[in-house]
Structure formats: C-alpha cells, structure tokens
C-alpha cells in the first residue's frame, strides 16, 4: 500500500507499506534539487529491528527512470517470470521485483551507500503489493514525488 504523506511541514513524502506486514516499509522524503539535471532525496527503510536511511539518493535526468520501471511493472499485472531490477546510476539504491501467484509483486529495496569505501554498509526490505492498482498508485506517487508535485 502506498500513501503520499503530507507531513506537518508540508514536505512531500511517499510511504510504501508491505501488504503482508505493515511494519515493513519504505519512505521517500526530503526531496531537493540543485539544478535541472538531477533530483536528490532521502530514502528510509523500516522493518522490525531495522531502520536505515540514505540522505542523498540522486536521480539524474539521463538515468533510466524509476517511475518508468514502476509503470512497466504495473502494466504487467498478469505477471512475469524471473526477477526484474532497476538501480540508480551510483548504485546507492537497487530495486528488484518478482511476481508471485495470486497477483502480488515483491519489491526488494536495497540501500548500499559508499559501496566502494571501507566501512560501507547495506540494508534491504521487501514490500509486497497487489500487482494492479497498488503498483499503478505507487508509480504515480513516486513520479509525483520526484517531479516535486504535492500529493
């Protein structure tokens, strides 16, 4: 389930909660931009016993777009074989998708900042959503967030 959350400070946020376990989730927040070539945002992962955050995920305009990836998953609501994946240019964020019977999509959100640096870390959570409307809603909400549009 997704929700374009408006916080007290009216900063746009999008929260994805797992259909199977609502305590597992992902939040897009703290969006900013220095120029017309990129969008920067924070991504938070939550699960029982886990909280992880990367403060500056970068989406470049020439990257393959996360919104397009999510829209393609939503369009294939009848399912697919294997795993599909997307990642940011610097690989701080990787998103993998699998389809399971019953019409659900498993999205594994993996954060791995500073992957080449000593002391780097990684964390991931998997959210399960309905293949049709919930995936389409997620694609629209993330697209609006990255474009800087209020929910």
pLDDT in tens, 78-137: 999 999 999 988 888 999 999 998 899 999 999 998 766 667 789 999 999 999 899 999
Q: Has this prediction a pTM greater than 0.85?
A: yes
| pLDDT at position 134 | 94
Cα–Cα distance for residue pair 4/98, rounded to 1 Å: 24
Residue where the block lists tokens 């999510």: 70
In contact, 141 and 151? CB cutoff 8 Å: yes
Containing H/E element for 135?
A: helix 133-147
Give the per-residue pLDDT at 7.
47
d(CA 7, CA 118): 36
CB 135 within 8 A of CB 73: yes
User: Span 6-27, mean pLDDT?
Assistant: 84
- pLDDT confidence of residue 61: 73
Provide the phi-psi class of 35: left if phi over 0, else alpha when psi is between -120 and 50, else beta.
Answer: beta
């Amino acid at each position: 389930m997704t929700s374009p959350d408006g916080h007290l400070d009216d900063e746009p946020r999008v929260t994805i909660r797992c259909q199977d376990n609502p305590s597992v989730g992902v939040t897009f927040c703290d969006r900013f931009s220095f120029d017309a070539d990129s969008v920067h945002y924070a991504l938070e992962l939550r699960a029982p016993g886990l909280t992880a955050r990367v403060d500056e995920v970068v989406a470049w305009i020439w990257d393959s777009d996360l919104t397009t990836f999510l829209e393609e998953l939503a369009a294939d609501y009848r399912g697919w074989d294997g795993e599909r994946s997307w990642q940011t240019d610097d690989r701080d964020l990787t998103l993998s998708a699998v389809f399971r019977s019953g019409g659900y999509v498993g999205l594994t959100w993996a954060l791995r900042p500073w992957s080449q640096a000593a002391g780097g870390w990684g964390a991931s959570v998997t959210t399960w959503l309905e293949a049709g409307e919930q995936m389409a809603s997620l694609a629209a909400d993330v697209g609006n967030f990255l474009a800087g549009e209020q929910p």
